[in-house]
Amino acid sequence: MIGKMESWGNWLLCGELGQGGFGKVHHWRHLSGGQEIATKHIKDLNSLSADQQIKLSERWNMEYNWTREFQQLPHIVAGVILDELDPAFRDFLNGRHIAKLPVIVLEYCNGGDVRKRLQSPENANGLVEFEVREILAALRLAVHFLHSKCGVCHRDLKPDNIVIQRGADGKKVYKLTDFGLARGTPEKTILQSVVGTRNYFAPEVVVSGIYNKAVDYWSLGIIAYEVAIGELPFIPHQTPKNIIMSLEKKPREVIAITEDHADPSRFINQKHLPNEHHLSRPWAEKFTEWLRLPLDSDQKRRGQLASDEVQSVPVVFSALDKLLQIKVLTIFSVNSSKLLEYAVTDDMTKERLIGVIARDTEMAIEDVYLVLPTFHPHKKITPSTKPIDLYVEEWRDTSKDTRKWTKRSTPPVMVYVFQGKNTKYSVSEPVFTTLMLKCNTPKFKSEERWLLKRLALDMHCVISKEQAKVEMFLSGINEHALVLEDEIIASPFKDMINKQLLTTASVFDQLQGLRTEAKTESPSIQLNDSAEWEKLKASYEVIIDSANKLLAHFDSCLRQARNKVNVTKQLLQDYGEKDIFHVNGFQRQYLRNGGSISLGEFREAAKEFGKTYQKLHIDGPLVKEAKMIDTLHLHFAAGRSAVPTALEKFEHIKSDISKLLLKMLKSAAFPPMVSPIPISVAPPAMLQLSDEMSRLTMGTGHPSSDPFDSLTTNSVIAEAERISKMLQTEMEVDPA
């Protein structure tokens, strides 16, 4: 037995990370330096025969040597060489070991392994697409390095041997470990021992025992399917004999084999992925095509090299590289409550994107209205915007695990789309699997554990997707309210109206004061324009009243928009964070530790789901709030469209004031000749009015045909002075 482990010197034993059939892994942390390591120990040799002990010792030494060679590789766990770091601690560990074998010391990866990620209830239907891609990218680099640079075949690829290193920023790096079964890659296919883990080793390992490095490609395909779907692809509940027989007869295009729900002894070849996963549609289609390469039962085809590559790269890897380069733009159509996903490229146009959105949502092209989430790096959609500009690399990871770890609220999609006009709302019905429909009928009976487990997974997928859809809908209308609020605040219309109000009111008051002064101080000036003045006053009052109502309209829109921001934010919290479809409760009750659900429990859960769905989508406030925001947006747009008319009215009243001013100047130039009284220069009020008129004219920012617009302040004053001097000259009387 392995000696009892305890802290030693500056090294604190933090605990056990895991154990297998013959070994344990411990976690250590250096108290002063903070370095963390993992140590791998053999826990028992007594249960093995002499030959088995020799074989285990050979593999142990091989793994020990490999790990010491793997230093600073991004996707392979590095060995830690204590010979230099702390030889005394090395001696302590080896002194507690058995069979005179060295303890294997590795870098510590703090995020657990992929198996634990798959065992998390939230990942019962597979990991999110981002994580699937990251795992495949890491495995592709690690396995190709082992094959091409080290000449090593791993032979035991599985989720348990992919560990996770999580950085301070929350990002995960996936690393391959456990080289206990690794061995040199033969140049040719040769007879070898049967090693690996059931459900992950290739058919030829058991059928003939003659295999090569292509066995790692098969394991890669199995892992890819499992992390994407949450289950193994080839009837994992069956006996090894049934599995191998089915794989030998499997056509090339088949990527999974499942039991028949009606007759478990009958197996069905599957050429496509099931719908219960978290992959985007365009990527899932290409992923399915790629799976046919590593899951080809013919190891010669599986291991063939790509003919179009400069270097010798297996087709499995070259095709995977292309798959991982696909960029998928995620869009949520709020009006149809539908998730849209499109592969975008650098040469794709915005018109093309809007066209496919209109096609898939049954909107008119001119009705497609795109809204970017808050803090979108593109900030604003312009005529030159391309779909690739809307793709946000950092937003691909939508897992709850990452959001919890990083404490970042990543938007569920990259773009929201609304129906700009003729708005209608519809709710896409949840998609139930054939198994769910069959099990929901009272006549159906079954106690098959694999079937009830599959039933729980199907139900989990349905309620999870509905919960996600609700959160996307509420996030969408919240963003719509935020965009509307920003649009109202940023609009120049209030400033334009206010400026016209101030200048027009000022010049009107000046004109009114001038008329009063003319009547009281210059009775010789006859103002024969009473009808025109009364008409001007009435028009002025109407324009001022309309402008004030327009300002009140914009203020009201802003208040309502802010209210809708708060209301939708609260709804998002109530219906999103509070888990209206009870996904978390379902996970705890039916999915922990590979659990299942009875038919009675399933039918009750389906009934409760139906009630919640009815209450939410038909009787609930979600669509009601969305429609109110749509109406508010149209209300604001109506006010915005009224601004040009209001400005035009200001132009008209300005023109009328100008005409009346010129008429007054003319009256002042030719008053009735009652007595030869000299006329002084134009009164100050006239000059002030001229100045106000000039500011009014120059501040509109809009073209006008008003004849007064051609006069500057100086020219108006000069004209008034010229008329005054002319009056003085013509009306002056020589002294007696």
The 10s digit of each residue's pLDDT in 47-90 is 778 887 888 888 888 888 888 887 778 899 988 898 888 999 99
Quick: pLDDT tens for 503-517: 899 888 888 888 787
What does pLDDT average to over the chain? Answer: 84
Which of the residue ranges 167-181, 223-237, 349-363, 480-494 would you say has the lowest mean pLDDT? 167-181
Average pLDDT over residues 350-366: 95
* Interatomic CA distance for residues 168 and 164, integer angstroms: 13
The string of pLDDT tens digits covering residues 14-55 is 998 887 767 888 999 999 888 999 999 887 777 778 887 888
CA distance linking residue 457 with residue 222, whole number of Å: 19
Burial class from Cβ neighbours inside 10 Å (0-12, 13-18, 19+) for residue 618 reads exposed
Q: Is 164 in contact with 115 (CB distance < 8 Å)?
A: no
What's the pLDDT score for residue 21?
67
pLDDT at 362: 92
Pick the CATH number of 329-426 from 3.10.20.90, 3.30.420.40, 3.30.1490.20, 3.90.79.10: 3.10.20.90
Number of H helices, E strands in the chain: 23, 16
Give me the mean pLDDT over the 691-708 stretch.
42
Rg (CA), the chain: 40
Using DSSP, state whether 93 is helix, strand or coil. Answer: helix
Q: Reduced to 3 states, what is the DSSP secondary structure of residue 13?
A: strand
Report domain extents, the chain. Answer: 1-108, 111-325, 329-426
The residues, any chain, with a CB within 8 Å of residue 229's CB and separated by 6 or more, are 125, 126, 273, 274, 276, 277
Shortest CA distance to 280 belongs to which of 126, 426, 385? Answer: 126
Output the 3-class SS for 337-374: CEEEEEEECCCCCHHHHHHHHHHHHCCCHHHEEEECCC
The span from the CA of 195 to the CA of 696, in Å, is 90
Say what the pLDDT of residue 501 is. 92
Among 71-75, 221-225, 322-326, name the one with the lowest average pLDDT: 71-75
**Tokens of residue 62, six digits:** 């091989």
pLDDT category of residue 486 using cuts at 50, 70 and 90? very high
Q: Give residues with Cβ within 8 angstroms of 377, minimum separation 6.
A: 392
Given a cut of 80, whether residue 725 has pLDDT beyond it is no
Q: Is the per-residue pLDDT at 232 higher than 90?
A: yes
Residues carrying an active site annotation = 156
Tokens of 242: 């049934």
pLDDT, tens digit, for every residue of 425-454? 888 788 899 999 999 998 899 888 889 999
Total residues found in the chain within this entry = 736
What is the C-alpha separation between 187 and 151, in angstroms, rounded? 9
Q: What is the mean pLDDT of residues 293-322?
A: 86
132 or 170, higher pLDDT: 132
> Which residue in the block uniquely carries the two structure tokens 């109110």?
628
Residue 616 has pLDDT above 90, yes or no: no
Tell me the pLDDT tens digit for each residue of 138-149: 999 999 988 887
The whole-angstrom separation of Cα 341 and Cα 100 is 57
Q: How far is 280 from 272, CA to CA, in rounded Å?
A: 14
267-270 and 327-333 strand pairing: unpaired
CATH of 1-108, one of 1.10.510.10, 2.60.40.420, 3.40.720.10, 3.40.50.11400: 1.10.510.10
- Residue spans of alpha helices (H) in 299-433: 299-302, 315-324, 350-361, 387-390, 400-406
Pick the CATH number of 111-325 from 3.40.190.150, 3.90.1170.50, 1.10.10.10, 1.10.510.10: 1.10.510.10
Q: Is the pLDDT assigned to residue 4 strictly greater than 70?
A: no
Of all residues in the chain, the percent with pLDDT exceeding 70 is: 85
Q: What is the pLDDT of residue 162?
A: 95
Q: Distance between CA atoms of 99 and 95, rounded to whole angstroms?
A: 10
Q: Is 1-108's fold the same as 329-426's? A: no
274 or 682: which leads in pLDDT? 274
* Percent of the chain as helix, strand, coil, to the nearest 5: 55, 10, 35
Q: Which range has the worst mean pLDDT, 8-12, 444-448, 513-517, 690-694?
A: 690-694
